[in-house]
Protein backbone atom coordinates (compact mmCIF):
# COMPACT_ATOMS: atom_id res chain seq x y z
CA UNK A 1 0.00 0.00 0.00
CA UNK A 2 1.33 3.35 -0.99
CA UNK A 3 1.42 5.86 1.73
CA UNK A 4 -0.39 9.04 0.80
CA UNK A 5 1.25 10.86 3.59
CA UNK A 6 2.78 13.97 2.13
CA UNK A 7 5.64 15.54 3.87
CA UNK A 8 4.36 18.84 5.13
CA UNK A 9 7.28 19.56 7.36
CA UNK A 10 8.36 22.42 5.14
CA UNK A 11 4.94 24.03 5.26
CA UNK A 12 4.62 23.50 8.99
CA UNK A 13 8.02 25.05 9.51
CA UNK A 14 7.05 28.04 7.40
CA UNK A 15 3.90 28.54 9.45
CA UNK A 16 5.90 28.25 12.62
CA UNK A 17 8.30 30.93 11.42
CA UNK A 18 5.45 33.21 10.36
CA UNK A 19 3.81 32.78 13.74
CA UNK A 20 7.09 33.56 15.41
CA UNK A 21 7.51 36.70 13.32
CA UNK A 22 4.05 37.86 14.28
CA UNK A 23 5.05 37.82 17.91
CA UNK A 24 6.34 41.22 18.81
CA UNK A 25 9.90 41.64 19.77
CA UNK A 26 11.12 44.98 20.88
CA UNK A 27 13.61 45.19 18.06
CA UNK A 28 11.12 44.29 15.39
CA UNK A 29 9.26 47.14 13.88
CA UNK A 30 6.10 46.92 11.90
CA UNK A 31 6.69 47.94 8.31
CA UNK A 32 4.83 51.17 7.61
CA UNK A 33 4.18 50.03 4.05
CA UNK A 34 2.88 46.49 4.35
CA UNK A 35 2.27 46.27 8.10
CA UNK A 36 4.31 43.13 8.54
CA UNK A 37 6.79 42.64 11.31
CA UNK A 38 10.02 41.44 9.81
CA UNK A 39 13.29 40.40 11.46
CA UNK A 40 15.01 43.20 9.60
CA UNK A 41 13.73 46.58 8.63
CA UNK A 42 15.16 49.92 7.75
CA UNK A 43 14.31 52.35 10.45
CA UNK A 44 14.42 56.07 10.94
CA UNK A 45 15.05 57.84 14.18
CA UNK A 46 11.50 59.18 14.08
CA UNK A 47 10.15 55.65 14.35
CA UNK A 48 9.38 55.02 10.71
CA UNK A 49 10.23 51.50 9.60
CA UNK A 50 10.20 49.82 6.24
CA UNK A 51 10.97 46.18 5.52
CA UNK A 52 13.57 45.10 3.01
CA UNK A 53 10.94 43.96 0.54
CA UNK A 54 9.14 47.30 0.54
CA UNK A 55 12.44 49.12 0.41
CA UNK A 56 13.31 47.17 -2.72
CA UNK A 57 9.99 48.17 -4.23
CA UNK A 58 10.23 51.79 -3.20
CA UNK A 59 13.95 52.42 -3.38
CA UNK A 60 13.47 54.50 -6.54
CA UNK A 61 11.25 56.85 -4.54
CA UNK A 62 13.19 56.82 -1.30
CA UNK A 63 16.72 56.91 -2.55
CA UNK A 64 18.26 58.90 -5.34
CA UNK A 65 21.81 57.61 -5.03
CA UNK A 66 21.58 54.13 -3.50
CA UNK A 67 23.67 55.28 -0.54
CA UNK A 68 21.07 57.12 1.48
CA UNK A 69 17.32 57.02 1.66
CA UNK A 70 15.06 59.73 2.95
CA UNK A 71 12.34 59.06 5.44
CA UNK A 72 8.92 59.84 3.98
CA UNK A 73 7.68 60.73 7.45
CA UNK A 74 10.24 63.32 8.53
CA UNK A 75 12.45 63.71 5.48
CA UNK A 76 15.60 62.75 7.32
CA UNK A 77 18.42 61.14 5.39
CA UNK A 78 19.29 57.62 6.47
CA UNK A 79 22.23 55.64 5.21
CA UNK A 80 22.11 52.15 3.79
CA UNK A 81 24.17 49.66 5.76
CA UNK A 82 24.76 52.13 8.53
CA UNK A 83 22.17 51.04 11.03
ZN1 LIG B 1 6.94 46.08 4.09
ZN1 LIG C 1 11.88 59.73 9.88
pLDDT in tens, 3-23: 666 666 778 877 776 766 655
- Rounded Cα distance, 4 and 76, in Å: 56
Q: How far is the CA of 49 from the centre of ligand 1 (A)?
A: 8
Kind and range of the H or E element at 70?
Answer: strand 68-70
Instruction: Output the CA–CA distances (angstroms, integers) from residue 81 to 21, 31, 58, in the order listed.
Output: 22, 18, 17
Q: How far is the CA of 47 from the centre of ligand 1 (A)?
A: 14
Q: How far is the CA of 1 from the centre of ligand 1 (A)?
A: 47
Between 3 and 25, the more confident residue is: 3
- Rounded Cα distance, 31 and 13, in Å: 23
pLDDT of residue 1: 66
pTM above 0.85, yes or no: no
Q: Which one-letter DSSP state was computed for residue 15? A: H
Amino acid sequence: MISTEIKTEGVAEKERIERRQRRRRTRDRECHCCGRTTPFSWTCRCGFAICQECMNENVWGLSCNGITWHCPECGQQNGFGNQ
